[in-house]
Amino acid sequence: MGSTVLTGIGSLVTNDPALGEGPLGLLTGAALVLDGERIAWAGPADRAPAADEAHDLGGRAVIPGFVDSHSHLVFAGDRTAEFNARMSGRSYSAGGIRTTVAATRAASDTALAGNLARHLREALAQGTTTFETKSGYGLSVEQEARALRLAAEQTEEVTFLGAHIVPPEFAEDPAGYVALVTGEMLTACAPYARWVDVFCERGAFDGEQARAILTAGMAAGLTPRVHANQLSYGPGVQLAVELGAASADHCTHLTDADVDALAQGSTVATLLPGAEFSTRAEWPDARRLLDAGATVALSTDCNPGSSYTSSMPFCLALAVRDMGMTPDEALWSATAGGAAALRRTDIGRLAPGARADLAVLDAPSHVHLVYRPGVPLVSEVWRRGVPVA
C-alpha cells in the first residue's frame, strides 16, 4: 500500500491545535498525505509533499471519522410499540430492556451478527469509523459471552455489560445475580472485552452493587465505564470518577458536586442526546460541563429501546440545538472526545501518526453538519487509509 495525497480540501479539521486554528486545528485550502494506514502529513495544500497517488476533493471538507464510544448493537427485534406508547405520553423505564433480552436470547448467532453488521455499515456510511459496542441483552453466562464474542469479531472496542438489568429469573434474588456477574459470567466474558460497564440507576443496580461489579471487572483486567445519572440523580458519576473510569455516560441529572468531580477527575462525560430525544427527557447540560472544565464526548447510545439512531451527525445537531454546544465543540466531542472516552490517541484526529480514518463532507466546512440537519452530507469515508463508503 503506497501513499496518497488528498488535495483540494476546502476545510480540514485535524483536532491538533499545533497544525491549525483553535482547538479543532482547522486549516483551509489544505492537503493530507496518507501513507498506508496512517496520516503522514497535514498542512496547507501549496506545501504538500508528493505521493504515489493524488485524489482531488474539489473543495469538500474533511473531518476525522466519528468515534462512537457508546452503543448497544448486539440485539434482536425492535421496540416500535414501546416507542409509539412513549410518543403518546408513556415514560421510559429500564424495564423495556427485558423485551430485547427475550428476543436476543432467542436469536441465532447468524441473526445477531447480521444485525450488528447492518448497523455498523449504517453508521460507517454516516462517517463513524470507530464503534464501541456492549453486551447486556443476554444476561446469562452463555448469552453474555456469546454477545461479546460476536461483537469482538466486528469491532475492537467491546464492553461487558452483564449488569444492564437484573434478568427475570433473578427477580427475587438480585444479590445472586450480582454474584453471578462478578463470578462465573465475568470469567467467561473478560477474554472478549476491554471494558466493564454497569447501569447504575433506580430499577437497575445501586451504588453498592455497581461498585462490586466494577471493581471485580477491574480485578479481571477490564477498565470501567458507567451508565450514570441517566434517569435520576444518583451515585454513578461520583463512583465513576472515584474508580478512575474512562467515561461516565448519560450524565443527564447532575448535582454541582457531580459536575465538580467530572471537572477535577480524568473521567470523560459522555453525553447521548439520542436517548433524551427518543425518551422525551430533559437534555443533559453540556454547557455547564464544558464551562466547569470537564471533557465531554458525544455518542449515539444506539440501541432498540432508548435511542435507535446510528447517526453521529444527528447527535451533533441535537447537542448544538438543545445542549448549549457550539458546532465546533460538538464536532470535537464526537471525534477527539470519543477517542478520549476510549483512551485512544491513534484516532479522533488527523495529524501525522494518527490512523487515516476520515469522512469527506459534501459541504465546505464541518459546521454544515449542524447547519443542515438531517441532510446526508457524508460523501466518502476512509478507514485505515482505504475508502470504505
* Contact footprint for Fe ion (CB under 5 A): 301
Angle subtended at Cα 124 by Cα 149 and Cα 347, rounded to the nearest 5 degrees:
80
Q: Which of 275, 282, 234 minimizes the C-alpha distance to 258?
A: 234
Q: Does residue 227 interact with ligand NIG by CB under 6 A?
A: yes
Q: Is 194 known as a binding-site position? A: no
Q: Is 79 known as a binding-site position? A: yes
Stretch that binds ligand NIG, among 92-100, 169-177, 344-352, 371-379 (CB under 6 A): 92-100
Q: Would you say 35 or 201 has its CB closer to ligand NIG?
A: 201
CA–CA gap between residue 64 and residue 52 (Å, rounded): 22
96: partner contacted, choices ligand NIG, Fe ion, none (Cβ within 5-8 A by kind):
ligand NIG
Q: Does residue 135 interact with ligand NIG by CB under 6 A?
A: no
- Residue at shortest CB range from Fe ion: 301
DSSP 174-242: HHHHHHHIIIIIHHHHGGG-SEEEEEESTTSB-HHHHHHHHHHHHHTTPEEEEEESSSS--SHHHHHHH
Which grid cell sits at 63? 473531518
Q: Is 92 known as a binding-site position? A: no
Q: Does residue 273 interact with ligand NIG by CB under 6 A?
A: no
Q: Which of 102, 345, 136 minimizes the C-alpha distance to 227?
A: 136
Q: Does residue 162 interact with ligand NIG by CB under 6 A?
A: no
Q: Does residue 305 interact with ligand NIG by CB under 6 A?
A: yes
Q: What minimum distance in Å lies between the beta carbon of 273 and Fe ion?
A: 12
Query: Which are the contacts of 86, defined by CB distance < 8 A and separation ≥ 6?
Result: 92, 278, 279, 280
> Is residue 45 within 8 Å of 30, Cβ to Cβ?
yes
Q: Is 58 known as a binding-site position? A: no
> Is residue 135 within 8 Å of 163, Cβ to Cβ?
no
By CB atoms closer than 10 A (0-12, 13-18, 19+), residue 85 is middle
366: partner contacted, choices ligand NIG, Fe ion, none (Cβ within 5-8 A by kind):
none
CA atoms within 13 A on the CB side of 83: 14
Q: Would you say 104 or 365 has its CB closer to ligand NIG?
A: 104
Q: Does residue 96 interact with ligand NIG by CB under 6 A?
A: yes
306: partner contacted, choices Fe ion, ligand NIG, none (Cβ within 5-8 A by kind):
ligand NIG
Binding mask 187-226 for ligand NIG (x = CB under 6 A): ------------x---------------------------
Q: Does residue 185 interact with ligand NIG by CB under 6 A?
A: no
> How many residues of this chain interact with ligand NIG, rule: CB under 6 A?
14
29 by DSSP, 3-state: which?
strand
235: partner contacted, choices ligand NIG, Fe ion, none (Cβ within 5-8 A by kind):
none
At residue 132, φ and ψ (nearest 5 deg) are -95, 145
Strand partners, 39: 34
Residue set of the binding site: 70, 72, 79, 137, 164, 227, 230, 301, 303, 305-306
Which residues would be at the binding site for ligand NIG (CB under 6 A)?
A: 72, 96-97, 100, 199, 227, 230, 275, 301, 303-307
Residue set of the binding site for Zn(2+): 70, 72, 227, 301
